[in-house]
Amino acid sequence: MTYFTLKGTIPKYKGYRGQVLIVNLSNGEIQKKAIDHSIIENYLGGRGIAIKYLFDNLPKGTEPFSPNNILVISTGPLTGTLAPSSNRYTIATKSPLTGCIGYSNAGGHFAPELAYAGYDAIFVHGKAEKPVYIFIEGEIVEIREATNLWGKDTWETDEMLRKEIDIDDIQILSIGQAGENLVRYAAILNNLSRAAARTGVGAVMGSKNLKSIAVKGTGAVTVAEPAKFDLLIEETLEKIYTDPAYPSLSEYGTSFLVDLSYIGGGLATNNNQFGTFDKYEGLSAETFYEKYKVKSESCFACPIHCGKYSEVKEGPYKGTKGGSPEYETIICLGSKCGIGNLDAVIYANELANRYGMDTISLGDTIAFAMEAYEKGVLTKENTDGLELVWGNEEAVIKLITKIAKREGIGDLLAEGTKRVAEKINKGSEEYALHVKGMEPPAYDVRIAKAFGLGWATANRGADHLTALPNFELLGYPEEKGIEWFGSKKAVDPYAWESKARMVVWHENLGAVVDSAEMCKYTCFSAYAVKPEDMAKFISYATGMKIDADDVLKIGERIYNLERLFNQREGMGEKQDYLPKRFTDEPLPDGPAKGQKVELDKMLPEYYALRKWDAETGYPLKEKLEELGLLEMAERFDLI
Amino acid sequence: MTQIKRISVIKEKCNGCRICELRCSFFHERFYAPSHSRIRVKKNEKEGIAVPNVCRFCYKCVESCPEGAISKSEKTGAVQIDSGKCTGCRECVLACPFGVMYIHPVNNVAITCDLCEGEPQCVKYCPEKALLYE
């Protein structure tokens, strides 16, 4: 297996639908092909086939907004089945935020519909002359004009498309104005509130003049061994339902993590200057539950249903209703900006969803601007008169619209923290929080060291989901730490020991989870699906015979290929760092006072475990050979 | 005669996960396909509304069938369709006041809820207990 090859044959594996779409928006050409079996065996689906396709087909050095960039939308072998929470899809591209591999992943109901329509993936090339959307109804695939939709937000677009297409239960993903205006952290939304948000995938979609993809499928997904598959689902459900975190996640949704970070002293406040927040109660899970939650709103086939529908019932934001802000949003658009009022956060979240923006990068960029304002680097003269003081919710809400429309100061902030700091200078780099150009998530990693390492090593930039090493947070007994990662320190979030091993394991399995397209909450919250379980899910679904080692090997291959992609695109050496705030500035307050991330202790061990060069952080020949990636590295003189 | 048990819906509880649709298609077809399900969740995402829609046993379809292919099950009270007699003419689809009579996409015969031989899978597996069979 060398290049990403596409054939006209139906694959031998079940679970898959057997066809992919290659859509060239420049010349309107639409092709239907089948993926070669060896690609499936080595990369599985979703995030795996995305990186393989991009590595082989994206010309080296492509500018992210050039028509030559490619947008991959891909599902996995479990998509559309009853395997718990297997409703996700990957959108991958070369990121306009980081210049690295960009990928994002969303739940909801889009991915299974694409599967029922008969497609495993869509590869979008080129750029349309005028705004268009892609329409898929089973075998019918059309590029349709979308001039009337351009300039509309994602909710308006959803409504207009539903009327125009007039097919029951069609599934739609769209960009809003932020994607059209190339905001570097623009998101792609489906089901109104499910966002493929990170790394600016929405801006690449906008650069292609692609507004939406609408899909309807009436087909079926079959699995190779239905009886065994069904029994495995039964066993997995039992693990999910009996997990101690299940009641919190299913009742409160991810907002319960606000309380967890408060208790731990890692409630990111004022651009991570503090780990405690005096207005915490305004953001707490209890407040959310009592005042705002209406009901649960689940992704497809998910027993956890962490999504919530909420409504603001009084005050200036009264009448705001829709999918609730997740934990990440509550912190990034809340406490990081000094805001302790869920009314405002829920409204800000709606705006971000409508305009189509990543609430993490958005909130972080605003929080960074606020610290620059606090330090006098930004003043009223260059903020369009807005007083960017902590907690000024009106200013934050005004900024969101300005950023989406690239108006005034919004044009600058639409570039993301790293570029803003480069522009305004005056020492602001010191508190410009990003890794590889992407802004960090909510949980302050000074109280969770494996997460800290995971932010640094994630191929897509500061990211909690690439590793998601929840293991260290769950209060497991020391014996379990020894059993899983060879150290009782593994269960201590403050400890750095054994965290390198923990992160490698999670990153590798996580890459498979993203490629089978199951939700990480099933795998890394309840740990209901471990490598041996994932091997069974994949084997029973597809008919492939793989075991736990194969699963981790596939994950490792994907992870290393993403790393090679970053190397090829000129990421340079020493790319795995953390902003100094997390490594050099101990937490100044609260129960975790004094904690910082000992990255220098974890990183060498991490590189050794990965068999990556200790200096450069890139894979060694031995590792590439072992994973079957040597030829690909040699193709671009990366070794 | 004992009281017929029916599937009823607590619509405030439905979170729209559609596990019921997949359970239904898997039980009847051994594959996963909402388009083959006898229960389907109707949604208005903007308003946060999700309501499973399933047969209420009004038997209007029985009267409408020109082939005499539809009858009431003596055992469960469910609507039963003789696929040998059904011509796929859609008279029952038009007659159904609740929109829960469907045409099988492959076999071209009418399908609707048959209560899974007395143990409705949608009720059994609903994670919110939004469906009742009583």
H or E element in which residue B127 lies: none
Q: Residue A612 gets which letter from DSSP?
A: B
**Closest residue in chain A to residue B11, using alpha carbons only:** A295
**Please, which pLDDT band fits residue A526 given cuts at 50, 70 and 90?**
confident
List of long-range contacts for B105-111, beta carbons under 8 Å, 24+ apart = B105/A218, B105/B35, B105/B36, B107/B83, B109/B81, B109/B83, B110/B61, B110/B69, B110/B70, B110/B81, B110/B86, B111/B28, B111/B36, B111/B38, B111/B81
Do residue B45 and residue B62 come from a single domain?
A: no
**Whether residue B60 sits in one domain with residue B97:** yes
Same structural domain, B83 and B100: yes
CA–CA separation, A604 and A494 (whole Å):
18
Q: Label residue A140 by pLDDT band (50, 70, 90).
A: very high
Out of A82, A155, A298, the one facing B15 most closely (by C-beta) is A298
Asked whether the predicted pLDDT for residue A245 surpasses 70, the reply is yes
pLDDT the model gives residue B4? 82
Q: Are residues B106 and B127 both part of a single domain?
A: no
Q: Are residues B132 and B84 in the same domain?
A: no
B6 has a chain A CB within 8 A of its CB: no
pLDDT tens digit sequence for A331-354: 999 999 999 999 999 999 999 999
Choosing among A192, A228, A241, A309, which should be mutated to test the B contact, i.e. which has the most B CBs within 10 A?
A: A309
Residue A400: CB atoms within 10 Å: 27
How many angstroms separate the CA of residue B97 from the nearest CA in chain A?
Answer: 17
pLDDT of residue A521: 92
| Shortest alpha-carbon distance between residue B57 and chain A (Å) | 24
Q: What is the mean pLDDT of residues A546-553?
A: 98
Residue A58 pLDDT > 90, yes or no? yes
CA–CA separation, A433 and A271 (whole Å): 8
| pLDDT at site A2 | 58
pLDDT band for position A566 (cuts 50, 70, 90): very high
Q: pLDDT class for A572, splitting at 50, 70, 90?
A: confident
Please state, in angstroms and rounded to a whole number, the distance separating the CA atoms of residues A377 and A427.
9
Residue A8, pLDDT > 60, answer: no
Residue A6 has pLDDT above 80, yes or no: no
Q: Shortest CA distance to A32 belongs to which of A132, A188, A138, A172? A: A138
Residue the block writes with tokens 């965290």: A499
CATH number at residue B68: 3.30.70.20
Average confidence (pLDDT) over A604-631: 97
Query: What pLDDT, on the 0 to 100 scale, is given for residue A10?
Result: 60
Rounded mean pLDDT of A267-273? 98
The CATH architecture one would assign to domain A445-635 is: Orthogonal Bundle (1.10)
Please list the helix, strand and coil fractions of chain B in percent, rounded to the nearest 5, in that order.
Answer: 25, 20, 55
Q: How many domains does chain B have?
A: 2
Residue with tokens 């990068």: A361
**pLDDT one-digit tens code per residue, A527-549:** 999 999 999 999 999 999 999 99
Give CA–CA dist A237/A188, Å, rounded.
Answer: 30
Q: Residue A9: its pLDDT value, please?
A: 58
Residue B43 belongs to domain spanning:
1-54+117-134
Are residue B48 and residue B26 in the same domain, yes or no?
yes
Query: A180 CA to chain B: closest CA distance, Å?
Result: 23
ipTM of this complex: 0.96
Percentage of chain B modeled with pLDDT above 90: 94
- Span A6-216: which CATH code? 3.60.9.10
Percent of chain A with pLDDT over 90: 96
d(CA A180, CA A205): 8
CA distance A228 to A209: 45
Asked whether A357 and A185 are in contact (CB, 8 A), the reply is yes
For an interface test with B, which of A85, A216, A243, A295 has the most B Cβ atoms less than 10 Å from its Cβ?
A: A295
Per-residue pLDDT reduced to its tens digit, A151-174: 999 999 999 999 999 999 999 999
pLDDT in tens, A405-450: 999 999 999 999 999 999 999 999 999 999 999 999 999 999 999 9
pLDDT at A11 over 70: no
Contacts A84 to B, Cβ<8 Å? none
Pull the structure tokens for residue B85.
């007699």
For residues B26 and B70, state if they share a domain: no
- Residues B26 and B43 both lie in one domain: yes
- Please, which residues have CB within 8 angstroms of residue A492's CB and are 6 or more apart in sequence? A472, A481
Task: Check whether residue B50 and residue B85 sit in a common domain.
Answer: no
A573 DSSP assignment:
S
| B39 shares a domain with B2 | yes
Q: Do A301 and B17 touch (CB under 8 A)?
A: yes
Are B65 and B36 in the same domain? Answer: no
Query: CATH fold of A250-431, please?
Result: 1.10.569
Give the whole-angstrom CA distance, residue A571 versus residue A565. 9
Q: What is the residue extent of each domain of chain A?
A: 6-216, 250-431, 445-635
Per-residue pLDDT band at B84 (split at 50, 70, 90): very high
pLDDT for the residue numbered A504: 98
Based on the fold, state whether residues B127 and B87 are members of the same structural domain. no
pLDDT of residue A36: 87
Average pLDDT for A93-120:
98
